Amino acid sequence: MEPDFYSIISRFRIEGQVKHAFPFGSGHINDSYKVMTNDKNFLLQRINHNIFKDIPGLTNNITRITDHLRDRLTEENQQVLIPVRTNKGDYILKDEEDDYWRVFDFIEGSKSYDRVGNPEIACEGGRAYGQFLKMLDDFPVDTLIETIPRFHDIEFRLENFREAVLENIAGRAGEVQNEIDFANKRSDEMQLVSNLGKAGKLPLRVTHNDTKINNVLFDQDNKAICVIDLDTVMPGYVHFDFGDAIRTFTNTADEDEKDLTMVSMNINLFEAFAKGFLSETKNILKKEEIETLAFSARLMTYIIGLRFLTDYLQGDVYYKTRFPGHNLIRARVQFRLVESMEEQRVKMESIIAGT
């Protein structure tokens, strides 16, 4: 049943009379709706409290982050999400169904992409995420909560994977021995960033942690104007943002492509993203961070592949699937992408060193 948009939105401090409200965007976690009034437009969202357990903490993260970003805008076309208060002065509304709602001003004249079509878009997306990291360089990272605890924690993901193999609840381990071997063979190497962090050689930063291309809004001239979807903004390593962007920006195939010969990392898109990202961040990143940026692409791709494989072994309990074996196909795509990155490792490291 569709929610009563008019009742919900009326409990927020919005201008104008509501004319229309309808589902908007392609997000997989929260439910988003565009609300049109005779004065201006808004984005209404129902927050998924099954994923985000601490809604007040998440909201506090976002309001403080957006305030900080707004004070550091340096370009005329840059914008920041603007949260709208409820009539009671809060930033979240809990309704009679125990659902949580929030509202942002709608960023007019913007567009987004679900795929990276050319190096120019990749470079601009890299610049946007680099700029986001740079503007938050002086934000007190230890004052943010983890909105999804251990989200990119490789040790946690390996623990879950190994437990899933041992328990073999769905009886599938025997048919995926090649994938299990692939994951085990690389498990020690994939703890490089974690180990450097524990040794104090990598600083914790305010990171976005979900750096897909569709979380960057562009103007009509394809200039990035805003980074959105701030629910996963929390303490992390720069590698989480750079690596996951490369994973999603550069894959030549879909996430569930059955023909693995179609899957590879587009080195031209890698170079373009790295150029844009480092143009904003090179002066704030430590030597150890820059030297391990290329590796982070393999790390983040491996983690997502591991999570798909773990879910398959557990009987498909986390990710939504559209057909039998969907999670296994997803895992195979990610692992093939890791192999492509391994094959291009020297070139990737050379690009980072020369940028």
Question: What pLDDT, on a 0 to 100 scale, did the predictor assign at position 74?
Answer: 80
In this prediction, residue 28 has a pLDDT band, given cuts at 50, 70 and 90, of low
The two tokens of residue 106 are 């709608």
Cα–Cα nearest to 278, from 197, 353, 196:
353
Question: What pLDDT, on a 0 to 100 scale, did the predictor assign at position 121?
Answer: 98
Q: Which of 15-19, 63-67, 308-312, 331-335 has the lowest mean pLDDT?
A: 15-19
Question: What pLDDT, on a 0 to 100 scale, did the predictor assign at position 319?
Answer: 87
Domains and CATH numbers, the chain: 5-105 (3.30.200.20), 119-354 (3.90.1200.10)
Q: How far is CA 185 from the centre of its chain?
A: 26
- Per-residue pLDDT reduced to its tens digit, 231-251: 999 999 999 999 999 999 999
Question: What pLDDT, on a 0 to 100 scale, did the predictor assign at position 305?
Answer: 98
CA distances from residue 39 to 14, 55, 88, 313 in whole angstroms, order as listed? 9, 30, 22, 51
pLDDT higher than threshold 70 for residue 1: no
Angle formed by the axes of helices 293-313 and 177-186, nearest 10°: 150
Strand 41-47 with 31-37, pairing: antiparallel
Q: How far apart are CA 340 and CA 332, in angstroms?
A: 12
Q: How far apart are CA 353 and CA 349, in angstroms?
A: 6
Cα–Cα nearest to 124, from 245, 284, 290, 277:
277
The two tokens of residue 27 are 């997000």
- Per-residue pLDDT reduced to its tens digit, 85-143: 999 999 999 998 899 999 999 999 999 999 999 999 999 999 999 999 999 999 999 99
